[in-house]
Amino acid sequence: MTREPWDPAAAGVLRLPSGRLVRGRGLRHPLPDGPLPTFAVYLQRRDPPPTPWPSRWVRWPDFRLPTDRVDAAAAIHEAWERAAGEGVEIACSGGLGRTGTVLACLAVLDGVPRDEAVTFVRQHYSPRAVETPWQRRYVTRFR
């Protein structure tokens, strides 16, 4: 039996329909107790501080959309693939808008219909996830 990378009951952990677990969090909050990520996608305007685990930085200003949508899509696809067996973390400053948007995109890749992905993330991660109309639209157009 394989051990899950995250505790499914831990704060910020989202279980996708396939069973993949992904942790969302705000970087301004302390690192949660428990295992460290084995891969992370950080959504920031500026470079995040270095981490001892592999990560990708996606330039994404607060309340906006990624500045390079091709790079963002590649990072999201990589996170989804790695979440099949690794401890993947998605994080922005507050852990809601940009993080929620990426979690909703991961849900789309996992089979949740595009028009239901934001609702899925709000129900299973945070009711405040995906903060702006353009972030919601980004999810509905994500491929």
What pLDDT digit, counting tens, does each position of 90-116 carry?
A: 999 999 999 999 999 999 999 999 999
Residues 6+ apart with CB under 8 A from 78: 39, 41, 56
Q: pTM of the full predicted structure?
A: 0.95
Q: Domain for residue 1, yes or no? A: no
- What whole-number distance in Å separates Cα of residue 23 and Cα of residue 6? 7
> What is the per-residue pLDDT across 20-56, written as a single tens digit (0 to 9) for each?
999 999 999 999 988 999 999 999 998 888 899 999 9
CB atoms within 10 A of CB 113: 11
Q: Domain for residue 2, yes or no? A: no
- What whole-number distance in Å separates Cα of residue 26 and Cα of residue 17? 23
The answer to whether the CB of 80 falls within 8 A of the CB of 20 is yes
Q: Domain for residue 52, yes or no? A: yes
- What whole-number distance in Å separates Cα of residue 100 and Cα of residue 90? 9
Give the CATH number of the domain where residue 53 resides.
3.90.190.10
Q: Domain for residue 5, yes or no? A: no
Q: Residue 40 region, left (φ>0) first, then alpha (ψ -120 to 50), else beta?
A: beta
Residue 73 has pLDDT above 50, yes or no: yes
- What whole-number distance in Å separates Cα of residue 80 and Cα of residue 50? 22
Q: Domain for residue 31, yes or no? A: yes
